[in-house]
Structure 1
């Protein structure tokens, strides 16, 4: 998930002395192809990590009439990057370059609201905001995350800021597969504390104990239906998105949590690791909450599958008209107000040529992803065998970001 140099050495794991939590592992169910249908949504929240944290903030600010609160792991203040990749890298992650102050970004927000390009920032007053930054996180500097806390507090949000755990750059979960101080794929760390419960309690009030066995369904839907122009790939979003829907939400009121992955953490690279280990579905089952997992992917200018928080895809990335923001909000509307059904077509897509390469090469080229040492075709999930430079597979693309065996 690192937003900087792709092959930087991984941060050393830092142990955390803490009592072990009493939890049960509840594997995410296999995805079921479907569509986003209307539910009785009583409140909508957004959460994210790293680039997903930046997009979560952008969504909360631009659409403050839609989102009632935000939970953010390791990100900076609204539009810190100023449509400039160098500013993103050198000022909004590291501190080698001067960045705009929270006060300057607050005024920018007011100006945009006056122009109608974002919702009025007065909506943020009283909103619950939960922030996390690990002391072992060397990907986004602590002072940058501090700016985000200041930005929200200055607008009157109710901010809780967890910044004392020795965590690396990652989503923190009591069932995370990585050591607390690690910064490594799939970027879900276990730190001996349940910060997911902490986040949810701050956002929405008292939290029931997590489920030990999941009873809901994981819906796999076509993101093209919600992307501007019907083309998710053109805005660096994958073909497939996911939504975990508890059984209770089929017949009764539920909250909605939109959860945004970070760089190197999209479905096409790590499979269902985030959906399986974030520990959100377990709480969703017992707290009447749907979890929406939109998916970014790679494109020119975005080789790591990040969400657009610096303008690689559109200079409007942080506005209500930002293409990725529009797509995510369209998904929210479909779940809460019965948005338009997915676009269908009777046109038969052309058959692409078969590509033969090592499974390692397929993953580097974003044609496949790896989970637990095994390789799977992107989109279809068909197994391709061991992930290495010796095992080869032959696959072809049947639609954007969807590969099958030849």
Structure 2
């Protein structure tokens, strides 16, 4: 049963100031089209759940000169997976196979820093790090999360580790729709009066004000293609749209920036705004001068549940500064900080023609892939039906390695 949970999680995957404990239920505002304009950013932090937690750690380590701290729900130490799906599944979620020790991963980090592929790990010393692992979490083994705590502590980070809450594998919020111990969509759990988001922000920032009951800001929907190398997010398993919540105070004054990365099965194209609406971050953003950036992954071959790349499904450079998803997120951070977006090349292409063939032929030609006997279009992940020589479907290629139904 543990092995099955691990597999599902992998392909899916995933001093405080005195404050009032009133639980805000302010709905996230409707998204409005926009761009990531420059703001007065005083500090940049990263947080995430499961696959988003692994990516949050990768970003913090590889770009430790950019990120000043991290908050991570249920993930393991830097590059635990070692570019292997089997290692990710059976050593870095379940623990049936041996995995690299924290000390070995620390040395790997130093070696990469010497080569210039990640920032010097000395930058991690003194950084605040908040970690969470629920006692009902059977998707990522606690021992793996413990390794993450050891990794950070060995580099001198200030670690606070909440591992006593009876939560399942999920982001935990006092306004979450799911019961505390569940591990079900949309993976935002309510554990009663527990408010891990308040704990996290309090540790990262040193203090935290009570959350707002009414949101003052706006939710910007932007084109992630502007920040992805090559200008097309689909080949790197990122969605076309990303989001940023910007409080009114941040329009004119200094603010912190929190990058928040969803888990598997939790991307916008599948669960909509569930994490943005119920994650309890925007409420604190309004009262603590904090912009929240919500980048979005999506599906592709080898990643049918929209996980972030922490085992190498998209690029062997996934954990380095040159990793395509890493570069894209950092480009977004730079744009919000006033650095602007990198130029993208736009070309006009003819309308692609539809290709009609059996689902078996689509897969052998690389236009589709198979999962549990069903066929899915490469890139979009759209269901085409049973995988055999009799079921046919019509699909067209809208961009490199991105196919959609006609």
TM-score, scaled relative to structure 2: 0.83
Match of 1:378 in 2: none
Match of 2:184 in 1: 184
Match of 1:358 in 2: none
The CA distance in 2 between the partners of 1:25 and 1:41, in whole Å, is 27
Q: CA separation of 1:351/1:220 partners in 2, compared to 1, >3 Å: closer, same or farther?
A: farther
The CA distance in 2 between the partners of 1:37 and 1:182, in whole Å, is 38
In structure 2, the residue corresponding to 1:48 is in which secondary structure?
A: strand
For 1:127-161, what per-residue CA distance to the aligned partner results, in whole angstroms no more than 9, with x for missing partners? 00000000000000000000000000000000000
Residue 351 of structure 1, CA deviation? 6.7
Residue 163 of structure 1, CA deviation? 0.3
For 1:66-125, what per-residue CA distance to the aligned partner results, in whole angstroms no more than 9, with x for missing partners? 000000000000000000000000000001000010000000000100111100000000
Q: How many residues align?
A: 365
In structure 2, the residue corresponding to 1:24 is in which secondary structure?
A: coil
- 1:58-69 → structure 2 map (5 Å cutoff): 58-69=58-69
In structure 1, the residue corresponding to 2:296 is in which secondary structure?
A: coil
Residue 338 of structure 1, CA deviation? 2.6
The CA distance in 1 between the partners of 2:84 and 2:108, in whole Å, is 16
Q: Which runs of 5+ in 1 are unaligned?
A: 9-19, 356-363, 370-394
What is the RMSD computed on CA atoms of the aligned residues? Answer: 3.0
The CA distance in 1 between the partners of 2:341 and 2:184, in whole Å, is 39
1:239·1:402 contact (CA, 8 Å) conserved in 2? Answer: no
Q: Which runs of 5+ in 2 are unaligned?
A: 11-19, 357-375, 383-394
Residue 347 of structure 1, CA deviation? 3.0
In structure 2, the residue corresponding to 1:46 is in which secondary structure?
A: strand
Matched, 1:257 2:258: yes
Residue 23 of structure 1, CA deviation? 1.3
2:304·2:381 contact (CA, 8 Å) conserved in 1? Answer: no
Match of 1:73 in 2: 73
The CA distance in 2 between the partners of 1:3 and 1:25, in whole Å, is 32
Matched, 1:119 2:93: no
2:134·2:163 contact (CA, 8 Å) conserved in 1? Answer: yes
In structure 2, the residue corresponding to 1:249 is in which secondary structure?
A: helix
Residue 215 of structure 1, CA deviation? 1.0
The CA distance in 2 between the partners of 1:110 and 1:124, in whole Å, is 12
Residue 304 of structure 1, CA deviation? 1.1
The CA distance in 2 between the partners of 1:26 and 1:196, in whole Å, is 16
For 1:349-395, what per-residue CA distance to the aligned partner results, in whole angstroms no more than 9, with x for missing partners? 7277699xxxxxxxx879699xxxxxxxxxxxxxxxxxxxxxxxxx9
Match of 1:244 in 2: 245
Matched, 1:295 2:302: no
Q: CA separation of 1:233/1:124 partners in 2, compared to 1, >3 Å: closer, same or farther?
A: same
1:127·1:158 contact (CA, 8 Å) conserved in 2? Answer: yes
The CA distance in 1 between the partners of 2:115 and 2:380, in whole Å, is 42
- 1:80-119 → structure 2 map (5 Å cutoff): 80-119=80-119
2:331·2:342 contact (CA, 8 Å) conserved in 1? Answer: no
Match of 2:341 in 1: 340
The CA distance in 2 between the partners of 1:272 and 1:402, in whole Å, is 24
Matched, 1:235 2:236: yes
Q: CA separation of 1:97/1:342 partners in 2, compared to 1, >3 Å: closer, same or farther?
A: same
Residue 231 of structure 1, CA deviation? 1.3
Match of 1:359 in 2: none
The CA distance in 1 between the partners of 2:219 and 2:180, in whole Å, is 28
My pick for the range that moved more, 86-95 or 336-345, is 336-345
1:222·1:342 contact (CA, 8 Å) conserved in 2? Answer: no
Runs of 4+ in 1 over 2 A off after TM superposition: 2-8, 340-355, 364-369, 395-406
Residue 209 of structure 1, CA deviation? 1.0
2:70·2:204 contact (CA, 8 Å) conserved in 1? Answer: yes
Residue 6 of structure 1, CA deviation? 3.7
Residue 4 of structure 1, CA deviation? 3.7
Q: CA separation of 1:225/1:64 partners in 2, compared to 1, >3 Å: closer, same or farther?
A: same
For 1:16-44, what per-residue CA distance to the aligned partner results, in whole angstroms no more than 9, with x for missing partners? xxxx9521211001111111110000000
Q: CA separation of 1:270/1:400 partners in 2, compared to 1, >3 Å: closer, same or farther?
A: farther
The CA distance in 1 between the partners of 2:78 and 2:231, in whole Å, is 27
1:239·1:400 contact (CA, 8 Å) conserved in 2? Answer: no
The CA distance in 2 between the partners of 1:212 and 1:126, in whole Å, is 33
Match of 1:383 in 2: none
Q: CA separation of 1:187/1:196 partners in 2, compared to 1, >3 Å: closer, same or farther?
A: same
